[in-house]
Amino acid sequence: MSKFRKDDKKETPPISTAALPDIVFMLLFFIMVSTTMREVTMKVKIQLPQATELNKLERKSLVSYIYIGPPQQQYQAVFGSEPRIQLNDAFASVGDIQDFIVAEREARDENEVPLMVTSLKVDQYTKMGIVSDVKQELRRVNALHINYSARKRVEK
């Protein structure tokens, strides 16, 4: 009777899946850290224009967003289909921009105010009239550092 004889009747043991949750949790943490939550609900449709000379927005906490584009389908009955301005979660008019920028400034630390950037997310088929109005308002409140949001153009 040999001690080394294999027990042929034994079944193969089931593969342990105990490490699988660990792997998934690792993925989960990676995604939680590398992404940001969507903080506003978009009420306007925006298709960004394309460009090649892009700068990345470095500090997201110092960026205020102004959205301009035609309202989404469900709001068109009330607001029409012409491009509108959206600030935070609501439709706004050009006159509201100064208050918006002032409110954004008050929410930040005082010494960070000069570093603030205004990102203009504008639909590419919008006419310049409304964009120029917004720019004039921004100049009036001295929010001069702006960023025209755009997608990277893939060279053919």
Task: Give contact residues for another protein (rule: CB under 8 A).
Answer: 17-18, 20-21, 24-25, 27-28, 31-32, 34-38, 49-57, 60, 63, 117, 119-120, 122-129, 131-132, 135-136, 138-140, 142, 144-150, 152
32 vs 78, beta carbon nearer another protein: 32
Nearer to another protein, 86 or 126 (CB): 126
Closest by CA to 123, choosing from 50, 55, 74, 57, is 50
What is the smallest separation between the CB atom of 74 and another protein, expressed in angstroms?
20
Distance of alpha carbon 27 from alpha carbon 19, whole angstroms: 13
Min separation Cβ 36 and another protein, Å = 6
The dihedral over CA atoms of 71, 60, 105, 121, expressed in degrees to the nearest 10, equals -30
Query: Of 70, 46, 52, nearest to 119 (Cα)?
Result: 46
Minimal distance, residue 49 CB to another protein, in Å: 4
45 Cβ partners below 8 Å, 6+ apart?
A: 69, 70, 71, 72, 123
Nearest-approach distance from CB 95 to another protein, in angstroms: 16
Quote the least distance from Cβ 92 to another protein, whole Å.
18
Q: Measured between alpha carbons, how far is 85 from 122 in angstroms, rounded to an integer?
A: 9
Tokens 């997608």 map to which residue?
151
The nearer residue to another protein, 41 or 76, going by C-beta atoms, is: 41
Which is closer to another protein, CB of 50 or CB of 76? 50
Q: Which is nearer to another protein, 29 or 90 (CB)?
A: 29
Spatial distance between the Cα atoms of 133 and 86, rounded to a whole number of angstroms: 14
